[in-house]
């Protein structure tokens, strides 16, 4: 996620850090590179112009130019303005005072709408709700079958009917069934097209009239970049959106849609899809996404994922250790055993400060091999070395390298990155920027 953009921004910040005191020309040169990086990431040109203008206005002030650490001040400003562009605060789902709450999912064919309906239902189920899925896409029988199958896999009821029944009637019957089941949420998968047309919009208007939804959420493919932004604008003007869900974020190395769509459409992003698995679904937090874009990790999401896979006592202990920066290699080894349950390794690495750069430099599929090497190195350490890595000197490093079948520089890299991660974890867990921001871009 954002691999290309993160790498280019890191290069810009590294150059700034090497200059020491900055002039107005240095800032303009850096922002020219930032502008190019954003445009190459397929970010809307109006968003790029507004973003760089805001950053420049704040960066040429005395607070930055006269600072002893001007580069760090600029990174702080970029982070804050990224958050403002991405949405400036989490946008949660609206809920009805008289259940069930109705969420109507709309979007073009192929955007992942049916799978997203199941993901949203599972998310709500884990939150203590009783969702009912509704297969209202009668134009594509495969969509009905797909939703029924997904509902069976996650043990959530699905209301489906013969494709010959109109979407309007399917939704009417679904609302009656929701009341009979005492469902607290109704999630409706509506029909899409390969492109926006009058027939689709007229049908959606009819369905909306029947459902009177609390949420009208557009599901959009993040990998389509500027097309995603145009689709959001069109749907919002025709059916009135209350939120967005960006799918296939794990495959979007550029990030243009995520950085543009909120600012251009004015519609809040509520969730992101980060993989094919039905649990590969996250609430959208602008501050956490900005942190990932800048390569600073996302410790809070990492903790939340860990809590889902670890027992309660271990999760609390992990959270305590992360927040107090006492997370050691013994703890890391224990996490390696549970890591497969938490999701793809590349995604997890993005969440750990200092680790995202290592993951991005590895070829596809190499992350698992790298973890095996890491595990071998940690297992070759004594318990004392795992608990206190600072005691590992030259002779110990050579012994660990020999015992794990790696080279000494592999051990050095592991220890250096882990030391950086320890320093940053406490700040990340509190949602604060580390004092030495330049350390992220060396």
Residue 351's pLDDT is 62
Q: Which of 117-121, 228-232, 344-348 has the lowest mean pLDDT?
A: 344-348
How many CB atoms sit inside 10 A of residue 398's CB? 13
Higher pLDDT, 302 or 44: 44
For residue 325, pLDDT beyond 80: no
Query: Averaged over 51-63, what is the pLDDT?
Result: 88
How many CB atoms sit inside 10 A of residue 283's CB? 16
Residue 338's pLDDT is 66
How far apart CA 77 and CA 309 sit, in angstroms, is: 36
Residue 69's pLDDT is 78
The CATH topology of domain 101-292 is: Rossmann fold (3.40.50)
Residue 365's pLDDT is 57
Kindly report, residue by residue over 350-376, the tens digit of the pLDDT.
Answer: 666 555 555 555 555 566 677 788 889
Are 130 and 184 within 8 A, CB to CB? yes
For residue 411, pLDDT beyond 90: yes
Residue 139's pLDDT is 84
Query: Do 3-86 and 297-441 agree at the fold level?
Result: no
How many CB atoms sit inside 10 A of residue 288's CB? 23
Kindly report, residue by residue over 227-279, the tens digit of the pLDDT.
Answer: 888 999 999 999 999 999 999 887 766 678 888 899 999 999 999 998 888 98
Are 284 and 271 within 8 A, CB to CB? yes
How far apart CA 270 and CA 261 sit, in angstroms, is: 12
For residue 431, pLDDT beyond 80: no
User: The pTM is what?
Assistant: 0.72
Which of 99, 91, 88 is closest to 214 using CA atoms? 99
Residue 293's pLDDT is 81
Please give the class, per CATH, of domain 3-86: mainly alpha
Residue 358's pLDDT is 56
Kindly report, residue by residue over 19-38, the tens digit of the pLDDT.
Answer: 778 888 988 999 999 999 99
For residue 301, pLDDT beyond 70: no
Query: Averaged over 115-124, what is the pLDDT?
Result: 96
Q: Which of 149-163, 258-272, 293-307, 320-334 has the lowest mean pLDDT?
A: 293-307
Instruction: Take residue 231 and report the two structure tokens written for it.
Output: 């689709």
Residue 366's pLDDT is 62
Q: What single-letter DSSP state applies at residue 223?
A: G
Share of the chain above pLDDT 70, in %: 80
Query: Averaged over 137-148, what is the pLDDT?
Result: 90
Q: Supply the Cα-derived Rg of the chain in whole angstroms.
A: 24
For residue 429, pLDDT beyond 60: no
Kindly report, residue by residue over 150-201, the tens digit of the pLDDT.
Answer: 999 999 999 999 989 999 999 999 999 999 999 999 999 998 888 888 888 9
For residue 433, pLDDT beyond 70: no
Instruction: Take residue 340 and report the two structure tokens written for it.
Output: 């497969």
- Name the packing angle between helices 256-265 and 70-86 (round to 10°): 60
Query: Averaged over 208-228, what is the pLDDT?
Result: 92
Please spell the DSSP secondary structure of 379-423, one letter per residue.
Answer: HTS-HHHHH-GGG--HHHHHHHHHHHT--HHHHHHHHHHHHHHHH
Instruction: Take residue 102 and report the two structure tokens written for it.
Output: 């109705």
Instruction: For residue 345, name the pLDDT band (cuts at 50, 70, 90).
Output: low
Domain boundaries, the chain: 3-86, 101-292, 297-441
Please give the class, per CATH, of domain 297-441: mainly alpha
Mean predicted lDDT score pLDDT of the chain: 84
Residue 11's pLDDT is 85
Q: Which residues pair with 189 in a beta bridge?
A: 105, 135
């Amino acid at each position: 996620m954002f691999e290309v953009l993160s790498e280019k921004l890191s290069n810009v910040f590294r150059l700034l850090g090497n200059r020491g005191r900055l002039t107005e020309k240095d800032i303009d040169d850096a922002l020219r590179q930032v502008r190019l990086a954003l445009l190459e990431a397929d970010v809307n040109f109006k968003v790029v112009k507004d973003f760089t203008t805001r950053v420049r206005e704040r960066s040429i002030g005395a607070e930055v130019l006269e600072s002893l650490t001007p580069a760090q001040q600029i990174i702080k400003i970029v982070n804050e303005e990224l958050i403002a562009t991405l949405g400036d605060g989490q946008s949660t789902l609206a809920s009805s005072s008289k259940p069930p709450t109705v969420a109507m999912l709309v979007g073009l064919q192929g955007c992942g709408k049916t799978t997203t309906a199941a993901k949203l239902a599972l998310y709500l189920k884990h939150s203590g709700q009783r969702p009912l899925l509704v297969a209202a896409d009668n134009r594509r029988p495969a969509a009905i079958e797909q939703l029924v199958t997904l509902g069976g896999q996650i043990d959530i009821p699905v209301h489906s009917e013969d494709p010959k029944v109109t979407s309007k009637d399917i939704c009417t019957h679904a609302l009656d069934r929701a009341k009979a089941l005492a469902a607290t949420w109704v999630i409706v998968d509506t029909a899409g097209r390969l492109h926006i047309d009058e027939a689709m919009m007229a049908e959606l208007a009819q369905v909306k009239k029947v459902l009177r939804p609390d949420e009208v959420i557009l599901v959009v493919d993040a990998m389509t970049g500027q097309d995603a932004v145009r689709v959001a604008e069109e749907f919002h003007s025709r059916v009135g959106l209350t939120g967005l869900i960006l799918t296939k974020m794990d495959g979007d190395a550029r990030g243009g849609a995520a950085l543009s769509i909120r600012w251009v459409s004015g519609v809040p992003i509520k969730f992101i899809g980060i993989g094919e698995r039905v649990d590969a679904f996250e609430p959208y937090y602008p501050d956490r996404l900005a942190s990932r874009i800048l390569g600073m990790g996302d410790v809070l999401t990492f903790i939340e994922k860990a809590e889902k896979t670890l027992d309660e006592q271990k999760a609390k202990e992990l959270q305590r250790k992360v927040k107090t920066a006492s997370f050691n290699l013994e703890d890391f080894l224990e996490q390696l055993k549970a890591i497969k349950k938490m999701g793809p390794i590349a995604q997890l690495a993005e969440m750990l400060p200092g680790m995202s750069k290592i993951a991005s430099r590895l070829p596809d599929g190499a992350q698992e091999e790298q973890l095996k090497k890491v595990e071998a190195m940690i297992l070759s350490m004594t318990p004392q070395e795992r608990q206190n890595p600072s005691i590992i000197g030259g002779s110990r490093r050579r012994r660990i390298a020999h015992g794990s079948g790696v080279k000494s520089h592999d051990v050095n890299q592991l220890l250096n990155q882990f030391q950086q991660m320890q320093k940053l974890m406490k700040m990340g867990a509190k949602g604060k920027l580390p004092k030495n921001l330049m350390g992220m871009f060396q």
